[in-house]
Amino acid sequence: MKQLTTTIFTTMSALANQSNAINLGQGFPDFAADPTLLQAAFDAMTQDHNQYAPMMGTLALRTEIANLVKKHYGCDVHVDKEITVTAGASEALFCAILAIVQPADEVIILEPAYDLYRPAIVNGGGVPVAVNLSLEYDKFIVDWDKVKTAITSRTRAIIVNTPNNPTGNIFTERDVIELEQIAEQHNLWVISDEVYEHMVFDGALHQSALRRPALAARTIHVASFGKTLHVTGWKIGYVIAPEKLTNAIRAVHQFNTFTVATPLQLGIASYLNTQPNATDELPGFYQAKRDKFKQGLQNTPLTTLPTEGTYFQLVDYSHISTYAHMSDTEFATHLTTQIGVAAIPLSSFYGTPPSHQKIVRFCFAKKDGTLEQALSRLQEGL
Ligand code: PMP
Ligand code: GLN
C-alpha of residue 116 to centroid of ligand 1, in Å: 9
Q: What domains, with CATH codes, occur in the chain?
A: 8-33+280-381 (3.90.1150.10), 35-274 (3.40.640.10)
Between 91 and 2, the higher pLDDT residue: 91
- Residue 344: C-alpha distances to residues 27, 29, 108, 194, 208 (Å): 10, 16, 24, 21, 27
**DSSP symbol at 34:** P
Determine which residue's CA is closest to atom 4 belonging to ligand 2.
27
Residue 1 confidence (pLDDT) above 80 = no
Count of alpha carbons within 13 angstroms of residue 61, beta-carbon side: 30
Is pLDDT at 5 greater than 90 in this prediction? no
Instruction: Output the residue whose Cα is nearest ligand 1's atom 5.
Output: 165
Kindly indicate the confidence band of residue 59, based on its pLDDT and cuts at 50, 70 and 90: very high
Q: Quick check: bond before 112 cis, omega within 30?
A: yes
* CA pair distance 3, 318, nearest whole angstrom: 30
Digit-coded pLDDT (tens) for 158-214: 999 999 999 999 999 999 999 999 999 999 999 999 999 999 999 999 999 999 999
Separation between Cα atoms, residue 236 and residue 250, nearest integer Å: 16
pLDDT at residue 153, rounded to an integer: 98
From the list 12, 46, 49, 45, the residue with the least C-alpha distance to 27 is 12
The response to whether residue 27 sits with its C-beta less than 6 Å from ligand 2 reads: yes
For residue 118, how far is its CA from the centre of ligand 2 (angstroms)? 15
Question: Is the per-residue pLDDT at 2 higher than 80?
Answer: no
What percentage of the chain has pLDDT greater than the value 90?
Answer: 98
Report CA Rg, the chain: 20
Gap from CA of 167 to ligand 2 centroid (Å): 14
Q: Is the pLDDT of residue 128 over 80?
A: yes
